[in-house]
């Protein structure tokens, strides 16, 4: 399944992509709504995201993902995530999960193959660990942190 927005993509490129996928079990969902995304996350094992790939984040920080809520949503669904190591994705992964990131298409291919080939039980464990990491970005965690900060400020 390939799902995503169409921002800045030319129709000729989309047509080329779809033609190159002919004969493979690949489906396309362009500009899915949130309920479609949640359904896709629930059916997925691996989630790739390449927002900012090929960009120099120091020269053009606006061209990389600043936060990347879709990454957190995929993690919350238990997907094994493989984001490009750029922008906010690094912070979302945190030091414990940085090995899930990638810098080149060769690294993405190798990491994907590794996840496909290893025992499913390991993927379940890692999916659970990533789900726990996603909780760090939940609304409940946000409320707890705001209250803590406010209490610290008023106790001075």
> pLDDT, tens digit, for every residue of 86-139?
999 999 988 888 889 999 999 999 999 999 999 999 999 999 999 999 999 999
pLDDT in tens, 26-36: 888 888 999 99
* DSSP string of 78-123, one letter each residue: TPEEEEBS-THHHHHHHHHHGGG-BSSHHHHHHHHHHHHHS-HHHH
- Tell me the C-alpha distance between 33 and 31, whole Å: 7
- What mean pLDDT is reported for the chain? 90
Max Cα separation, the chain?
Answer: 66
pTM to 2 decimal places: 0.83
Go through the domains of the chain in sequence order and give each one's CATH number. Answer: 33-154 (3.40.50.2000)
In this structure, what token pair is assigned to residue 91? 């912070």
> Quick one: DSSP state of residue 26?
-
Helix, strand, or coil here: 150?
Answer: helix
């Amino acid at each position: 399944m390939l799902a995503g927005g169409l921002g800045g993509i030319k129709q000729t490129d989309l047509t080329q992509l779809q033609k190159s996928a002919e004969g493979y079990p690949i489906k396309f969902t362009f500009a899915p709504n949130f309920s479609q995304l949640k359904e896709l996350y629930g059916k997925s094992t691996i989630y790739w995201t390449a927002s900012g790939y090929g960009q120099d984040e120091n020269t053009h920080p606006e061209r990389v993902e600043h936060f990347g809520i879709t990454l957190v949503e995929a993690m919350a669904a238990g997907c094994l995530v493989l984001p490009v190591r750029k922008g906010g994705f690094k912070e979302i992964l945190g030091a414990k999960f940085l090995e899930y990131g990638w810098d080149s298409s060769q690294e993405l291919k190798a990491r994907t193959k590794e996840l496909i080939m290893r025992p499913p039980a390991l993927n379940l464990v890692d999916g659970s660990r990533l789900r726990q990491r996603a909780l760090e970005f939940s609304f409940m965690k946000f409320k707890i942190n705001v209250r803590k900060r406010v209490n610290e400020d008023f106790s001075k």
